[in-house]
């Protein structure tokens, strides 16, 4: 098959990482694969596949020019499958497909929804209005699928849950690496919590920082590492706990954008996710496959991902988050190791990227079958 992936960008985010990993697996399986990125970002995931960068401008003329250029590329590449990820790319692909036919048969359009929340009512209205232009829609979690079906943004008979896949071989615990990173970070024997994700409202870092005030009062030596792209200036202005953690609390380390997430996860003792909304958080799955005990808010597909191999608390409840973090810290180390191994096994059995690539390949083949004459 010839498969063309359309992404909003190649930026360092979970949805982008997942789409690129899937594209690379499809290329390894012998399919012809290329990507279209609507816009450029300064920090991007490395990609070995052909990429058309549109550098799309958010103006009617800019979008029209982008569509025209992309259609010329489609005419050259002649895809069987046109697979897009996240709202801007999903809508762009639907518009791209409108007048496009080739060889008597247009490509199959598949949209993937990566979050329970992809915008307000106006975006849901756009999804509704353009709904007939997508042959199929997938969601990364049952929670996301239910939300979009309830909003009538997707057709139930064209919807399927297909969860994210984790690159399990890239996240293997290694004692020497753990010792090296902890030495560089000068942690000593302190208990380290790690959170990974962009500094955006969805991640609700103020919730985490409020919880951290309680955790740190009980464990003064403990450290919190936050790795993610974005400015914390707005966060600091809105939340006094964030301001305290940035300016005065040496136990909170804002690490910014990092390329060594596996190293940080290996060095940490626990993983925490404080999000207000999610789809299927990739970093949480990566922490689990790294054998970390996780505490996470019950948003999006978190419950589907964790199962019994971690701890779940209500969103926007900093006391519950703090209490569960403290419970994990009170666990004997052998018990944490057992739960960590259970977490890794759960991901390997249910969420490996290779298993998900097989599911995607079956779906592509099913949708790409020629219609009977």
* C-alpha distance from residue 11 to each of 6, 18, 110, 213, 373 (Å): 13, 11, 21, 32, 43
Check if the beta carbon of residue 291 is closer than 8 Å to that of residue 310: no
Q: How many domains does the chain have?
A: 2
pLDDT at 364: 97
Is 105 within a domain? yes
- Whether residue 184 sits in one domain with residue 71: no
- Whether residue 237 sits in one domain with residue 129: no
The token pair that represents 343 in the structure block: 């977490």
pLDDT at 345: 96
- Whether residue 89 sits in one domain with residue 58: yes
pLDDT at 236: 54
- Whether residue 234 sits in one domain with residue 186: yes
- Whether residue 123 sits in one domain with residue 10: yes
Taking the C-alpha atoms of residue 17 and residue 287, their distance in angstroms, rounded to an integer, is 15
The count of residues in the chain is: 373
pLDDT at 253: 93
One digit per residue, pLDDT tens: the chain, 373 residues?
Answer: 999 999 999 988 889 999 999 999 999 999 999 999 999 888 889 999 999 999 998 888 989 999 999 999 998 999 999 999 999 999 999 998 766 544 556 899 999 999 988 888 899 999 999 999 999 999 999 999 999 998 888 989 999 999 999 999 889 999 999 999 999 999 999 999 999 999 999 999 999 999 999 999 999 999 999 999 887 665 655 555 555 555 557 899 999 999 899 999 999 999 999 999 999 999 999 999 999 999 999 999 999 999 999 999 999 999 999 999 999 999 999 999 999 999 999 999 999 999 999 999 999 999 998 765 5
pLDDT at 158: 93
- Whether residue 296 sits in one domain with residue 215: yes
pLDDT at 43: 85
The CATH number given to whatever domain includes residue 6 is 3.40.50.2000
Residue 184: CA atoms inside 13 Å, Cβ hemisphere, count?
Answer: 10
Taking the C-alpha atoms of residue 284 and residue 330, their distance in angstroms, rounded to an integer, is 21
121 lies in which domain range? 2-165+353-367
- Whether residue 180 sits in one domain with residue 160: no
Is 89 within a domain? yes
pLDDT at 4: 97
| β-strand partners of 161 | 139
Taking the C-alpha atoms of residue 288 and residue 265, their distance in angstroms, rounded to an integer, is 9
pLDDT at 235: 63
pLDDT at 97: 73
């Amino acid at each position: 098959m010839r498969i063309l992936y359309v992404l909003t960008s190649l930026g360092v985010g979970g949805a982008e990482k997942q789409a690129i990993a899937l594209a690379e697996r499809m290329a390894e399986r012998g399919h012809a694969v290329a990507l279209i990125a609507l816009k450029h970002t300064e920090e991007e995931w490395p990609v070995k596949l052909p990429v058309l960068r549109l550098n799309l401008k958010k103006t009617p003329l800019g979008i029209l020019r982008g569509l025209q250029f992309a259609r010329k590329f489609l005419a050259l590449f002649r895809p069987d499958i046109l697979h897009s990820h996240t709202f801007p790319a999903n809508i762009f692909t639907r518009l791209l497909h409108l007048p496009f036919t080739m060889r008597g048969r247009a490509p199959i359009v598949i949209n993937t929804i990566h979050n329970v929340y992809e915008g307000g009512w106006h975006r849901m209205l756009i999804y509704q209005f353009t709904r007939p232009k997508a042959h199929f829609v997938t969601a990364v979690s049952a929670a996301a699928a239910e939300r979009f079906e309830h909003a009538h943004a997707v057709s139930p008979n064209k919807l399927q849950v297909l969860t994210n896949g984790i690159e399990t071989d890239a996240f293997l615990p290694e004692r020497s690496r753990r010792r090296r990173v902890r030495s560089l970070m000068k942690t000593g024997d302190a208990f380290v919590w790690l959170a990974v994700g962009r500094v955006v409202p969805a991640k609700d870092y103020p919730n985490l920082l409020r919880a951290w005030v309680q955790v740190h009062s009980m464990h003064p030596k403990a450290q919190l590492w936050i790795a993610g792209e974005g400015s914390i200036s707005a966060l600091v202005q809105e939340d006094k706990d964030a301001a305290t953690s940035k300016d005065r609390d040496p136990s909170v380390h804002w690490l910014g954008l990092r390329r060594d997430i596996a190293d940080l996860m290996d060095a940490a003792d626990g993983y925490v996710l404080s999000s207000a909304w999610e789809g299927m958080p990739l970093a949480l799955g990566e922490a689990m496959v790294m054998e970390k005990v996780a505490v996470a808010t019950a948003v999006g597909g978190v419950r589907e991902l964790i199962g019994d191999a971690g701890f779940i608390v209500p969103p926007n409840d900093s006391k519950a988050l703090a209490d569960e973090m403290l419970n994990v810290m009170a666990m004997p180390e052998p018990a944490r190791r057992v739960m960590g191994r259970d977490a890794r096994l759960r991901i390997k059995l249910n969420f490996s990227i290779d298993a998900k690539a097989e599911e995607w390949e079956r779906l592509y083949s099913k949708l790409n079958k020629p219609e009977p004459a």
